[in-house]
Chains A and B, each alone.
Chain A
């Protein structure tokens, strides 16, 4: 029987069938951070259970750390965050788990660090205590977020009790219009199906637009698919993915790689495989998007006006955001600009933002920071001179981490402040209590930073000769 890519990946990892909808699924690789793992280790310890396969885990510090330079943990003023970092390192040492701690040159946001070091491969099942784990679907890995109890379950058993999803195909064909990038595709998808529209589904992105995207852009797409409720996002791996992996430190090599490549060729949906739902998106309709509300599906093209509220939820969002229906989106003034997060803080993202900022400066009254996704991204950007462009424009050039994506460290927006943000969630209070977040691509954040107002990036793009 023809199968979808998702079904193949599940089938290859079923340890046992539990009931009609659940299987015991094998987890090839598991990633942890400092804030969702401590209680999992505590549970393990109180039950006197060992970690089943220590080499199948990686831990990274990213959520609570400051992004200003420090040389010692004692310089972290926040005692709770410091305790989480220390606890992670004690737990990793105790169980022999690899850790990229704050001072490791490979440290950064987990979903940037994992692919960058070649830990994510086609055909793997990868779990992590963070919802944006869907990122690794860009490599053809079945990857999804889990809670703390499930982290404990993976540590103890290397498996998860897994609810099998329905496959959804999202077909996108055609060239991406000027001024748009993967962020706009995924925001258009989330807007189209709604914040719960892909709930219960594993999404597979296909079509000529996807084929043409770089691996990094595919990560942006898969990363944010979770904002439509998708518990998994996939793209069939192609030569671009195989080339990207080649030479990364943790990727398979030699004979193992040769065999892997043979198996990876088969990681695609069979031509007549049935999807439970098919969504088609026409790239000609994609424009640079910004959110106007407090849910990632509340977005519109920058050239549009804020739509009339449909229901109490929309009105509540507008009240929180301090906006009115009918207001042109490109008339909204901002206080802050943030470029960062696992969605949009890889090198290509920084390059596109820097291209807009080159020769321009941040508008008066706007506080702008850029937080590279990892230390390696930061070093690469510095080698290319991007840091100089950001700094000359008036952006603060920071160390790696999640930072103002969820504002668990000291990078927080004040109540009422409005932030143009390259992140993935515009929830109430996400960037600080009362803070107002507008999601958009990094190049759109750069455009807003220099004008002080949400702006159509296309008006600032240099004409291509």
Chain B
């Protein structure tokens, strides 16, 4: 479903060239859940952002169901409609109610009527367990609730793939569970997911494959059972010793 070929992303910070993503190739099958882990600065977030074009690719290609992001004729907005993204800091639109946060893109991008988009929004809010907050502003919600709204907002566009960029890192510990529960439900329903996260428990329990990144390179790609018990790469071994 997702096909990544020799992806390279270079950052040029005052003459200092950093290869944030260095020649990464992989593919994700439909319904697969990938967890991307690695130390900070390893390029895992940049890799994720390349998957929906928030970062421009320097070379290589990314495609979803044959739609090639790097092809000059590809409409990047049409491409992004297929890919939902959840951010570390939720990035809800603070000037809109929760309901409007979910309806905006449906109405503007998918051209749905207000009634249709609202019905969809309410169903999704029900699903993530915050239907009663539909008319609140995001600032009135806890972090965990905000992140669940953000997940619902992305789902409202009916994406083929969901990307999660450290979705629980900005949360108070007691709220991590409610967000992970929503993600687990999604995974069980067969959603194709790529998650950058530090939640090793989630990786172990839900992931089909774990990708380990360091210095922009994809060093290890294995099933969670194998990755956590017998990591092959020495840097992965060192990383696991620190976090487990």
Whether chain B is bound by chain A comes out as no
Which residues of B approach A to under 8 Å, CB–CB?
A: none
